[in-house]
Amino acid sequence: MERRFGSKELPETSRAKFQQATQQPGESLEDWADRVLTLAIPAFRDLPDQFGQREAVSKFCQGCIDSEAGKHACFERPRSIQHAVDLVCHSSGGWQES
Protein backbone atom coordinates (compact mmCIF):
# COMPACT_ATOMS: atom_id res chain seq x y z
CA MET A 1 0.00 0.00 0.00
CA GLU A 2 2.79 2.41 0.83
CA ARG A 3 4.11 2.01 -2.72
CA ARG A 4 0.76 3.02 -4.17
CA PHE A 5 -0.36 5.74 -1.76
CA GLY A 6 2.61 7.91 -0.92
CA SER A 7 5.75 5.88 -0.71
CA LYS A 8 8.74 7.38 1.00
CA GLU A 9 11.23 9.31 -1.09
CA LEU A 10 14.54 7.68 -1.75
CA PRO A 11 17.12 8.84 0.81
CA GLU A 12 19.23 10.22 -2.04
CA THR A 13 16.33 12.40 -3.21
CA SER A 14 15.69 13.67 0.31
CA ARG A 15 19.37 14.47 0.79
CA ALA A 16 19.52 16.33 -2.53
CA LYS A 17 16.52 18.47 -1.52
CA PHE A 18 18.18 19.13 1.84
CA GLN A 19 21.51 20.10 0.27
CA GLN A 20 19.89 22.47 -2.25
CA ALA A 21 17.71 24.31 0.28
CA THR A 22 18.33 27.97 1.05
CA GLN A 23 16.39 30.60 2.95
CA GLN A 24 13.85 32.25 0.68
CA PRO A 25 13.28 36.02 0.44
CA GLY A 26 10.69 36.98 3.04
CA GLU A 27 11.14 33.73 4.98
CA SER A 28 11.75 34.38 8.68
CA LEU A 29 14.69 32.76 10.46
CA GLU A 30 12.27 30.66 12.50
CA ASP A 31 10.45 29.44 9.38
CA TRP A 32 13.79 28.71 7.69
CA ALA A 33 14.91 26.72 10.74
CA ASP A 34 11.64 24.75 10.72
CA ARG A 35 12.01 24.00 7.03
CA VAL A 36 15.61 22.82 7.50
CA LEU A 37 14.53 20.45 10.28
CA THR A 38 11.62 19.19 8.17
CA LEU A 39 13.98 18.45 5.28
CA ALA A 40 16.60 16.86 7.56
CA ILE A 41 14.26 14.23 8.99
CA PRO A 42 13.80 12.21 5.78
CA ALA A 43 17.28 13.05 4.49
CA PHE A 44 19.00 11.44 7.48
CA ARG A 45 16.34 9.02 8.70
CA ASP A 46 18.75 6.05 8.67
CA LEU A 47 21.47 7.87 10.61
CA PRO A 48 21.75 8.80 14.31
CA ASP A 49 19.65 11.81 15.34
CA GLN A 50 22.73 13.68 16.53
CA PHE A 51 24.21 13.52 13.02
CA GLY A 52 21.01 14.88 11.46
CA GLN A 53 20.88 17.69 14.02
CA ARG A 54 24.48 18.72 13.29
CA GLU A 55 23.79 18.68 9.56
CA ALA A 56 20.62 20.75 10.07
CA VAL A 57 22.48 23.38 12.10
CA SER A 58 25.19 23.58 9.46
CA LYS A 59 22.67 23.84 6.59
CA PHE A 60 20.72 26.51 8.47
CA CYS A 61 23.84 28.67 8.86
CA GLN A 62 25.12 28.10 5.33
CA GLY A 63 21.73 28.70 3.70
CA CYS A 64 20.85 31.99 5.38
CA ILE A 65 20.15 34.97 3.13
CA ASP A 66 22.45 37.01 5.37
CA SER A 67 25.53 34.96 4.55
CA GLU A 68 27.81 36.96 6.85
CA ALA A 69 25.54 36.38 9.85
CA GLY A 70 25.27 32.70 8.90
CA LYS A 71 29.04 32.38 8.63
CA HIS A 72 29.50 34.08 12.00
CA ALA A 73 26.97 31.70 13.57
CA CYS A 74 28.76 28.68 12.07
CA PHE A 75 32.08 29.81 13.56
CA GLU A 76 30.42 29.94 16.99
CA ARG A 77 29.58 26.20 16.69
CA PRO A 78 25.93 26.38 17.78
CA ARG A 79 24.73 23.47 19.90
CA SER A 80 21.22 23.45 18.44
CA ILE A 81 19.21 24.98 15.64
CA GLN A 82 17.66 27.42 18.13
CA HIS A 83 21.13 28.50 19.23
CA ALA A 84 22.00 29.03 15.55
CA VAL A 85 18.83 31.11 15.03
CA ASP A 86 19.77 33.24 18.04
CA LEU A 87 23.33 33.74 16.77
CA VAL A 88 22.20 34.73 13.26
CA CYS A 89 19.54 37.03 14.66
CA HIS A 90 22.08 38.70 16.95
CA SER A 91 24.68 39.02 14.16
CA SER A 92 22.24 40.62 11.76
CA GLY A 93 20.88 43.07 14.32
CA GLY A 94 17.63 41.14 14.54
CA TRP A 95 17.30 41.69 18.26
CA GLN A 96 16.16 45.24 17.64
CA GLU A 97 12.44 45.56 17.27
CA SER A 98 11.04 48.04 14.80
Domain hosting 81: range is 11-18+27-91
Is residue 50 within 8 Å of 56, Cβ to Cβ? no
Q: Which of 13, 30, 15, 17 shows the shortest CA–CA distance to 64?
A: 30
Within-domain flag for 98:
no
Q: What domain count does the chain have? A: 1
What is residue 91's predicted lDDT score, i.e. its pLDDT?
84
Within-domain flag for 69:
yes
Rounded Cα distance between 76 and 84, Å, is 9
pLDDT tens-place string over residues 17-54: 999 999 999 999 999 999 999 999 999 998 999 999 99
What is residue 8's predicted lDDT score, i.e. its pLDDT?
75
Within-domain flag for 97:
no
pLDDT at 94 over 60: no
Within-domain flag for 77:
yes
pLDDT at 97 over 60: no
- The model's confidence at residue 4, banded by pLDDT at 50, 70 and 90, is very low
Name every residue whose Cβ is closer than 8 Å to that of residue 86 and which is 6 or more positions away in sequence.
Answer: 78
